[in-house]
Structure 1
Amino acid sequence: MGRRAFLNGLAGAGLALAAAALPGAVTGASAKPNLANLSPEQLATVQAVNRYFNSITTIEGKFLQTAPDGGETTGYFVIDRPGKMRFRYYPPAKLDITVDGRTVAVDDKAMQSQTLYLLSETPLRFLLDKNINLLEEAVVQSVSADSDFIVIRLQDPGTFVTSHLTLYFDARTTELKQWTVTDDQGFDTTVAIYETKVGNPTNPEWFEINYSKYK
């Protein structure tokens, strides 16, 4: 699995979330968040989202991924911050993503490939970090809100390809509801999460990687 396919997979799964798919990237960029472009109200909105992310240790639920061609896949995800994540796609998809705190393992049975990545080199590091601060780690391009959603558009100055991440949060609770990754060709991959549960204990075995498969 190439890096672009992997990034799109994270965008679809998450994550990540996936993600992180989390934020996309600006290749070779040294851009920093330009806070001067955000109003006090927008800054307060992003800070509220930071508090939401940092209040969560575990979250699990179902996801619906919509590809640029309209194709849909579904699955189940579990996140245990800091550092651990599992995304399982339901059949007929054959993709499994496991993060054990250090490594991201991508098992793509359809392509008969197993690939390892350092967590620190993927966008998932934003989602799984101990302390999440979008104002420090990403370029916040825009912030908007209406009665239904808070919408934050981001870039990440540090990963693989030029892309954007748009996060959608419930305007009342600031809960993450969906995200869209727009790649450098303008194609969107959208993930909606639902039936989420926060704070439940997780099984450590869910995040174990069988490294012998990846030799």
Structure 2
Amino acid sequence: MTNRRSTARSLLLGLGAGALGLGLVPALPATIAPGPLAAQSASELDAVVGALRAIGTMRADFTQTDRQGNVMAGVMTLKRPGKIRFDYGKDSDFLVISNGKSLYVVDYEVSQVERWPIKNSPLGALFDPERDVKRFGKLVPTGNPDVISVEVRDPKKPEFGMINLIFVRNASAPGGWQLTHWVALDAQNHRTRVQLTNQRYGVPVADSTFTFRDPRRASRRPG
């Protein structure tokens, strides 16, 4: 497997772990002592839930770095519920995409497509307004009232690894909190960081954005 494919695959693993904590597969519940800390934690989780539920469509630039320092960059396009596209550029022969039903990793170089049903991937829950992050994961103290970190892991599903989702207070973002990056550890403790920048919300996004040409039928690159 090339570095390019390995790095893109680590993005997929990070997506799976991240959405895991937002509701499709039960994760380890937070342990919060009663009292002001519990109220504060609940309030922060409420804020995260509200921010995620407030996103209808979004585009953002992303930079992904794996444990070996390999970097890939592109544009992420999202449309609720469950549609997402990681586009690595016009000259790229690799694509990660979900049409809301299935998640695909498309490699035009080797004419290969890998598919995961959304129901078997936590990705489908990441932007599902019916899911509730409060029931899963736990808060990680940041020491900064303008930053919320949510750690997600499921001891019963070690193949999903662990992820930290980082939200920063931003009045211009839906719900007042902006997802800026996530850091994922897979089952082999391989670390991947995905940084989002230039987030744009409420942009027009056609459903055709989440379709692709199948390289198994014709050796063509994504358009």
TM-score of the aligned structures, taking structure 2 as reference length: 0.76
Are the aligned partners of 1:122 and 1:159 in contact in 2 as well (CA < 8 Å)?
A: no
Determine whether 1:22 maps to 2:24: no
- Which is greater in Rg? 2
Partner of 1:178: 181
Determine whether 1:105 maps to 2:104: yes
Partner of 1:33: 29
Supply the distance in 1 between the matched residues of 2:215 and 2:129 (Cα, whole angstroms): 28
User: Which is further off, 110-119 or 69-78?
Assistant: 110-119
Deviations 1:94-145 (A, max 9, x none): 3211211111121023454211110111121221323231122x33263434
Q: CA RMSD in A?
A: 3.2
Alignment length (residue pairs): 203
Runs of 4+ in 1 over 4 A off after TM superposition: 4-7, 29-32, 156-160, 209-212
Secondary structure of the corresponding residue to residue 182 of structure 2: strand
Query: Residue 159 of structure 1: CA displacement?
Result: 5.4
Within the candidate set 152, 155, 158, 2:150 is matched to: 152
Secondary structure of the corresponding residue to residue 33 of structure 1: coil
Are the aligned partners of 2:82 and 2:125 in contact in 1 as well (CA < 8 Å)?
A: no
Identity across the alignment (%): 23
Determine whether 1:190 maps to 2:189: no
Deviations 1:42-64 (A, max 9, x none): 12111100000001111111100
Partner of 1:71: 70
Query: Residue 91 of structure 1: CA displacement?
Result: 7.0
Judged with a 3 Å threshold, the aligned counterparts in structure 2 of structure 1 residues 166 and 97 are, in CA distance, closer, same or farther, namely same
Secondary structure of the corresponding residue to residue 10 of structure 2: helix
Determine whether 1:8 maps to 2:10: yes
Partner of 1:139: 137
User: Which is further off, 176-185 or 158-167?
Assistant: 158-167
What is the letter of the counterpart of residue 186 of structure 1? N
What is the letter of the counterpart of residue 177 of structure 1? T
Deviations 1:171-204 (A, max 9, x none): 3542000000012232210000011110111111
TM-score of the aligned structures, taking structure 1 as reference length: 0.79
| Gap regions ≥5 residues in structure 1 | none
Are the aligned partners of 1:155 and 1:163 in contact in 2 as well (CA < 8 Å)?
A: yes
Are the aligned partners of 2:76 and 2:85 in contact in 1 as well (CA < 8 Å)?
A: yes
